[in-house]
Amino acid sequence: MRAGVGVTARGGTQVCFQLPGADTKWRLGNECDYVIEPSFSAKLASYEGADWHVHFMPSVYRAWGGNEFVGAPGSEESGDDLVARYGQVYTYGNNISALGNGKLWVGRRFYNRLQLGINDQFLEKNDGDGAGLEDVNVGFGKLSVAVMMNPSDTGFDNRLTIPIRLTNIKTFKDGELAVYVSGADNTQTKNQLTGVEPAKKAKAATLGVYHTQGGVLGGNLLVGAKYEREGGIKTARVMAQESTQFGATAFDAIAEFRNRDAPNNAGDKWYSIGARTDTYISGPFRFLAELGHDRISPDVGNTRSLTKLTLAGAVSGGNTAGSRPTIRLFVTHAVWNEAARQAFVAGGSRTAEIYGDKKSGTSIGIQGETWW
């Protein structure tokens, strides 16, 4: 879970700063939302060395300023309450010897999530309703295959994705390679009630290759590349993340480049680089700092840029960077150029509501977080 509250130096509710068009924002002191995701797993049976479970995760999510319902302010439909949903509910058998010691599962789940932590970016993500075989031992690695659909789509028009991944491929000492491949298309039929044929939607395909290497600067290095194509839009990206420890300070750094090729000069190039330090002081006290910079060069128009800095003091339930729960008091300052300011205003964002006439802004707040 995470939750918090904040204000801007100008007055009004905390603003979170993200460059328009960037895939991510730098998270520390820059999250304007609530999320709660408790997970429950019940072991129901054992057979031939396999364990059989049901996994259930109710969830609540709300961005600041977002409403769960549409209604007049103060009415019962105004969205004051946080509404729980079923984020995950699936059954699975684990360590099935007849299936290469893999997992057989079916239901709704978070699936294929590969994340860059300090900016909360999912390099791979195939959440939804589905079924699959996971982590089947194929000798040189582990194979996973699934069929995923979108539970929110209509009955006569649903997006179907088939993700395949091969992980745990040993390379160098303390090194592993992972390959993610997926294809997506819509499974469609004529709506017999209206007689309407659903509009054809573009097919999609992705290929991601990622390598993790231990022992780099005393920590772990992830490097990767991904290519995506959906209709006429082609996106290629490369990224690297280093996580390590220098004495009392944990250090995480990310660099990423994305090139999007789209029809009618609608593409762009995105450059992103940043780092976070998390230093132990004494007892439950820690000091954190995060600096991130994003730049977008569109095919047409001026280059947009934004730089964000957060300083935070934390009180945590332990003496490591990963100790949770943690409560942070933070100040976040961001600066951006004129092209970014115009993009904020054109998008009608919360940033524009407070700082639409400026090229910098500051938020101050307190946040609690527990993650697993």
pTM for this predicted structure: 0.93
Position 122 scores a pLDDT of 96
Q: What is the CATH number of the domain that holds 206?
A: 2.40.170.10
Position 217 scores a pLDDT of 96
Position 317 scores a pLDDT of 96
Band (55; pLDDT cuts 50, 70, 90): very high
Closest CA to 226 of 179, 160, 263, 293: 179
Count: domains in the chain: 1
Position 75 scores a pLDDT of 46
Beta bridge partners of 108: 89, 129
Band (65; pLDDT cuts 50, 70, 90): confident
First to last CA, the chain: 9
Which residue range forms the structural domain that includes residue 249? 2-369
In this predicted model, what pLDDT tens digit does every residue of 270-326 receive, in sequence order?
999 999 999 999 999 999 999 999 999 999 999 999 999 999 999 999 999 999 999
CB-based contacts of 232, cutoff 8 Å, min separation 6: 202, 262, 263
Residue type, 139: G
- Average pLDDT value over all residues in the chain: 94
Stretch 28-39: mean pLDDT? 94
